[in-house]
Amino acid sequence: MSKLALYGGTPVLKENPEHLFHWPIVNDAMRKAQLDVLEAGNMSGNDITAKFEEEFAKWQHVKYALAHNTGTNSLLAAMYGVGLGPGDELICPSITYWASCTAALGLGATVVFCDICEKDLQIDPASFEAHITPRTKAVMVVHYMAHPADMDKIMAIARKHGIKVIEDVSHAQGGHYKGKMLGTFGDVAGMSLMSGKSFAIGEGGMMVTNDPEIYRRAIRFGHYERINQVYSDEEIAGTNIIPFGGQKFRMHQISSAMGIEQLKKYDAEIAEIDKAMKYFWKGIEDVKGLRMIYPDDPGSDKSGWYASRFGYDPEVFGGVSNTVFAKALAAEVQGQFCAQCNFPLHHSEVFYTVDIFGHGRPTAALNLPKGVDPRALTGKLPVADTINSRLLGEPWFKHFEPDLIDRYVEAVHKVAENYRELLVEKGDDARSGNVALTHRKK
Ligand SMILES: *Cc1c(COP(=O)(O)O)cnc(C)c1O
């Protein structure tokens, strides 16, 4: 008789308590703010967005915040802002969402991938340094899955080599590294504010910087209606206010209105998430083979715990893969657990051979010196290649409800104690291996 719910045993929870995970939390102030925009027909204006930017900049401790329609475009604006262009290389960790770096190709630049650290899933400073060439213009530092990257080391390397630093804070809005807010270390930061992220306002993104020239360039690229606010008549002469990127990046004001309200309650919400997630971890910290991924430095945190992962050691569980282990966990509590993270971007031909614009040559190599192969610039990335077989995704509790969280703790103990039942699983995913690449087969 099986104990595990995966094979017909009694599940720990028969239903998923939806309220515990529902996000974002919408209050009456948000409803009213959005309706006001709608009823005033003010969706495409800029007044509410300007107010949101002002308050966001204050909260983020930066001089400038520039709202965008997506996080992807806030990062593209940041890339253009630091001057990334034809023949330049952008170094980016391979394990991240594609939007961290892909737009660099459209600027005529090449993306060079570096590895991540197994211990915290963040960009590996040594690998970053090893990938620098005379053409390296900028590095994209992603604070991946809510964990801060090692900014002391990264900034030292970047400054030594004269490399611009862009932070992608899409997973860690409001987070800190050694007491200082993420997004304030590099030259500029971009972040997603779409509905799935911790700071969720619909679709939207925010670029933040203390550098007036980066701010101006970002406006020149995709904010036609503001060009004459930051450029003089002489500077505009001959070009009019046509954005150089040919883009329109303005934020929808329903999102801006939601953002203003979100700012008022965000810090309290992520404090509660933090309390709930730490309580969950207290309950399972003694389970051998599982490892919480959390910064050790005082003043560093895992703000919002977006898409948080923890380490899984298949050896401790008889070689049972993380995919199967996650399936067993999910069967106990009706979802919430998963395996893996983003697939390694350095396996995509987009960054090597695809001719995106019809130049008759691979876009990634378009402006590189003859004979320089983008694939060789990236080379082998051993952690990125295998990390997907050693992670599990944890439930993202939005409320501190100990009685309910205890059930998830119970589920973890139950599956860990009965893992031998899982040894019967057959197929590709049953035993640990490089499941990272199975992602691509589907
Ligand atoms: C979501 C995300 C983005 C893109 O943001 P959008 O708002 O979806 O355009 C960029 N980088 C990372 C790491 C993300 O997770």
Q: Does residue 135 form part of some domain?
A: yes
Q: Does residue 218 form part of some domain?
A: yes
Nearest by Cα to 167 from 151, 156, 145: 151
Cβ atoms of 325 and 312 closer than 8 Å: yes
Ligand 1 pocket: which of 194, 306, 345 to mutate (most atoms within 8 A of CB): 194
Ligand 1 atom nearest 142 alpha carbon: 13
Cβ atoms of 293 and 149 closer than 8 Å: no
Ligand 1 pocket: which of 94, 100, 306 to mutate (most atoms within 8 A of CB): 100
* Dihedral sign, Cα of residue 148, residue 154, residue 158, residue 163: negative
List, edge to edge, every strand of the sheet that includes 64-68.
64-68, 205-209, 188-192, 164-168, 136-142, 89-93, 110-114
Report the number of distinct structural domains present in the chain.
Answer: 1
The response to whether residue 249 sits with its C-beta less than 6 Å from ligand 1 reads: no
Q: Does residue 415 form part of some domain?
A: no
The response to whether residue 190 sits with its C-beta less than 6 Å from ligand 1 reads: no
Cβ atoms of 191 and 247 closer than 8 Å: no
pLDDT for the residue 1: 79
Taking only the tens of pLDDT, the chain with its 442 residues reads 789 999 999 999 999 999 999 999 999 999 999 999 999 999 999 999 999 999 999 999 999 999 999 999 999 999 999 999 999 999 999 999 999 999 999 999 999 999 999 999 999 999 999 999 999 999 999 999 999 999 999 999 999 999 999 999 999 999 999 999 999 999 999 999 999 999 999 999 999 999 999 999 999 999 999 999 999 999 999 998 999 999 999 999 999 999 999 999 999 999 999 999 999 999 999 999 999 999 999 999 999 999 999 999 999 999 999 999 999 999 999 999 999 889 999 999 999 999 999 999 999 999 999 999 999 999 999 999 999 999 999 999 999 999 999 999 999 999 999 999 999 886 656 665 444 433 333 3
Q: Does residue 278 form part of some domain?
A: no
Q: Is 402 helix (H, G, I), strand (E, B) or coil?
A: helix
Ligand 1 pocket: which of 145, 191, 192 to mutate (most atoms within 8 A of CB): 192
From atom 5 of ligand 1, which residue's Cα is the shortest distance away?
71
Nearest by Cα to 384 from 122, 44, 63: 122
pLDDT for the residue 428: 56
The response to whether residue 342 sits with its C-beta less than 6 Å from ligand 1 reads: no
- The alpha carbon of 99 and the centre of ligand 1 are apart by a number of angstroms equal to 6
Q: Does residue 413 form part of some domain?
A: no
Q: Where residue 118 sits, what CATH number does that domain have?
A: 3.40.640.10
pLDDT for the residue 425: 81
pLDDT for the residue 424: 87
- The alpha carbon of 33 and the centre of ligand 1 are apart by a number of angstroms equal to 25
Nearest by Cα to 167 from 88, 276, 92: 92
pLDDT for the residue 197: 97
pLDDT for the residue 429: 64
- The alpha carbon of 94 and the centre of ligand 1 are apart by a number of angstroms equal to 15
The response to whether residue 207 sits with its C-beta less than 6 Å from ligand 1 reads: no
Strand partners, 113: 92
CA distance 188 to 169: 10
The response to whether residue 53 sits with its C-beta less than 6 Å from ligand 1 reads: no
The response to whether residue 142 sits with its C-beta less than 6 Å from ligand 1 reads: yes
Q: Does residue 149 form part of some domain?
A: yes
The response to whether residue 170 sits with its C-beta less than 6 Å from ligand 1 reads: yes
Q: Does residue 438 form part of some domain?
A: no
CA distance 294 to 120: 7
Find the domain containing 178 and state its range: 28-261
The response to whether residue 97 sits with its C-beta less than 6 Å from ligand 1 reads: yes
* Dihedral sign, Cα of residue 419, residue 420, residue 422, residue 425: positive
- The alpha carbon of 97 and the centre of ligand 1 are apart by a number of angstroms equal to 7
Does this model's pTM top 0.75? My answer is yes
